[in-house]
Amino acid sequence: MPDPMPLFVAGRRRPARSRVTRTIVNPATLEPLGTAIDCNHEDVDAAVTAAAAAQPAWWRIPGADKARMLHEVATRIRARQRDLSTLMARETGKPLIEAVDCIEWVAACFDYYAEVGRQSFGNSIPPVAPHQVNFTIKEPFGVVAAIVPFNFPLLLMAWKVAPALMAGNTLVCKPPHQNPLSNLLLADCYEGLPPGVVNVVTGGPETGGALVRHPAVDLIAFTGSVAAGRKIASLAGESLKKVNLELGSIDPFIVFEDADLDVAVPGVAWARLLNAGQVCTSSKRIYLVESIAAEFSRRLLDYVAGLRLGDPMDPTVDIGPLISAEALALVEGQVATAVQEGATLARGGRRVSPDGLKGYFYQPTVLTGVAHGSLPTREEVFGPVLSLTVARDADEAIRLANDSRFGLGACIYTNNLELAMRAMHEIKAGTFWINDPLSDNDAAPFGGMRMSGIGRELGEEGLDAFREPKHVHLDYKMERKGYWFPYRDRPVGH
């Protein structure tokens, strides 16, 4: 096994002080891909110190110059698309075609914030008295800790790094411990930035905890589970650090009776089975209006039967493995519980070894007759499991879709504009997709309502998540004010 890939701190590769390592494996083949360091508090402190030292000068760099440097990051990413996408596919298990698309989205995010950030600095405010000028400027928080999960390790990191940089912050990035290698490779694309502006450390929860607790970290930007988000919020609360949290959800998808099933069936399947179902916004609760439920279910079973499970590097494969043995066991147990609670296992529901592969593969699974309130509608299933619930009519479908503690996203299929707008107003969700599931737009805010998170990523809202406004009040005529002391010189009521 080769030596661990060095960390990226203060603009250069450097060995870690920690000697604790973990082996990173391909979840499809279980072959080792490399080793990574579990950074200790000394490694974290070195990275945070570098970021804190670089931040004042980075904040003073004009927006046009920051934009040029972010465009250069995007150019470097595109130049390394093959290497980045191949490594990411191997260490995440996502099909190579999904990984290639993802790298372009990563580059596009840096391009987007390069343009948005150079044009956004504050606002002019109407004054309340003569010879006053009021305006705001939006300032960075300082040092940002960016912590991301295994399912989209580069994209979710870009959603934090690009806006945080344009806002004037510096960063310490902690990739997921399951697959940190592609983020370490991505660090090569930061070499055109001033030293210390972006730093990358690796490790598991202990490394993340040291980063969150570090006194020089001003804001934590985290994507991951609700349980982990609660812990981070609690730790951050001890020192009143700011947090941006994009957490999990059990997103609904309603197929109304007027939907074109030739579109809805493959659309629902893709929205749920993308990345083997390991997507925070994947459609985990599927509600079918009764009049089309039987036909939709029949077609869905036929469609899922035609999807190919296997090695993500094979261009004919649609669905790869789960990320780990623990993830596989969890999904297996959740499906068993769903069946115990009354769901019918219509397809799949077991581990498989496609083409003799020894990885963490689980058959694309369809559960029918899922009762609202049972496990698939109250607990996030992070795997390739489609859960179908029948609603009597549109009203019940909307009511059930909104009956959740979460609110990251929601999808519907309908050509009825009135119905679509009513569903949009009644269902609490940070993103509401009508007839185009799970599409992203860099210019639109992304984030959750209810227990699905705090704050937003993407759009100008995503830029504002990494800066805070300062109100500047200027009176260009220095004069004594009539409302000052002593009050005896100012009659009451005048």
- Residue 325 sits in the same domain as residue 384: yes
Does the residue 138 lie in any domain?
Answer: yes
Q: Are residues 83 and 229 in the same domain?
A: yes
Same domain for 373 and 353: yes
Domain CATH number, residue 237: 3.40.605.10
Position 13 scores a pLDDT of 96
Which strands, in side-by-side order, build the sheet including 219-223? Answer: 12-14, 7-9, 198-200, 170-174, 143-147, 219-223, 242-246, 453-454
- pLDDT on residue 430: 98
Asked if residue 486 is part of any domain, the answer here is: no
Locus of tokens 């805010």: 445
Statement to judge: residues 202 and 312 lie in one domain? no
Residues 467 and 429 in one domain: no
Whether 338 and 308 map to the same domain: the answer is yes
On whether both 418 and 458 belong to a single domain, the answer is: no
| Whether residue 246 lies in the annotated active site | yes
Diameter of the chain measured on Cα atoms: 93
Range of the domain at 364: 251-434
Among 39, 102, 280, 411, the active-site one is: 280
Q: Are 29 and 354 in contact, with CB atoms under 8 Å apart?
A: no
Number of domains forming the structure of the chain = 2
Name the catalytic one among 98, 246, 380, 457. 246
Return all residues near 78 (Cβ < 8 A) that are at least 6 apart: 103, 104, 107
Both 120 and 241 in one domain: the answer is yes
Q: Are residues 386 and 356 in the same domain?
A: yes
Question: Can you give the pLDDT at residue 60?
Answer: 97
- Domain contains 488: no
CA dihedral for 163, 166, 171, 175, sign (positive or negative): positive
User: Does residue 112 lie within any of the structural domains?
Assistant: yes
Burial class (CB in 10 A: 0-12, 13-18, 19+), 240: exposed
Q: Round to whole Å and give the CA distance between 4 and 22.
A: 9
Give yes or no: residues 324 and 411 share one domain. yes
* pLDDT by 10-residue block (mean), the chain, 494 residues: 89 96 97 97 98 98 97 98 98 98 98 94 95 97 98 98 98 98 98 97 97 98 96 94 97 98 98 98 98 98 98 97 98 98 98 96 98 98 98 98 98 98 98 97 97 96 97 96 90 74
Domain assignment present for residue 445? The answer is no
The verdict on 150 and 288 lying in the same domain is: no
**Over the chain, what is the mean pLDDT?**
97
| 264 and 407 fall within a common domain | yes
Q: How much is the pLDDT for 2?
A: 73
Separation of alpha carbons 397 and 406, rounded Å? 16
Q: Looking at residue 364, which CATH number applies to its domain?
A: 3.40.309.10
Q: Would 190 be classed as within a structural domain?
A: yes
Decide if 60 is inside a domain: yes
468 flagged as catalytic = no
Judge whether 255 lies within some domain: yes
